[in-house]
Amino acid sequence: MKKLILIGRSESGKTTLMQALRGEEIHYAKTQYVYNGDVLIDTPGEYIQTKHLGGALAVYSYEADVVGLLVSATEPFSLFGPNIVPMANREVIGIVTKIDSPDANIPLADRWLKLAGCEKIFHVDSTHSVGISDILDYLHNN
């Protein structure tokens, strides 16, 4: 299985997605440090939200096979600039989280990830395991 790093702003659903991918019970936990496990790397949102911490994401991305850019379907803006995917020097996928929310705007989140350069985009509801098997299949078979 390919190793996946999860990158997104605070409260975008990175840790909840990690718990779902690992088959764990879902509970809210604020990530305070980079968790570097066997097949998943979970990063604090502050690393993408704070300019001087962004370099750490680049370093950790080299320990992963796949970079997952997360955008919540409820976010009012995206932190990912246009065409940033080539900077990763790794395979990059987009992941839209919180698709079950009444405030979800999935087409907008898709546009942001496509603008960033993601060609493969997954839609997930981590609390109900929607889309989780699709990501796991992708990591196993590609």
The amino acid at 105: N
Query: What mean pLDDT do residues 110-132 have?
Result: 96
pLDDT tens digits, one per residue of 28-76: 777 777 888 889 999 888 877 877 777 777 778 889 999 999 999 999 9
Query: What mean pLDDT do residues 13-33 have?
Result: 86
How distant, in Å, are the alpha carbons of 32, 45, 53, 102 from that of 139?
26, 23, 27, 29
Contacts of 90 (CB under 8 A, 6+ apart): 61, 62, 64, 65, 66, 67
Counts of helices then strands in the chain (DSSP H, E) = 5, 6
Q: CATH for 4-141, among 3.20.20.80, 3.40.50.300, 3.30.300.30, 3.40.50.1820?
A: 3.40.50.300
pTM over 0.75: yes
Is residue 98 within 8 A of residue 104, CB to CB? The reply is yes
Rounded-to-integer distance, Cα 14 and Cα 8, Å: 7
| pLDDT band per the 50, 70, 90 thresholds, residue 126 | very high
pLDDT tens digits, one per residue of 69-95: 999 999 999 999 899 888 778 899 999
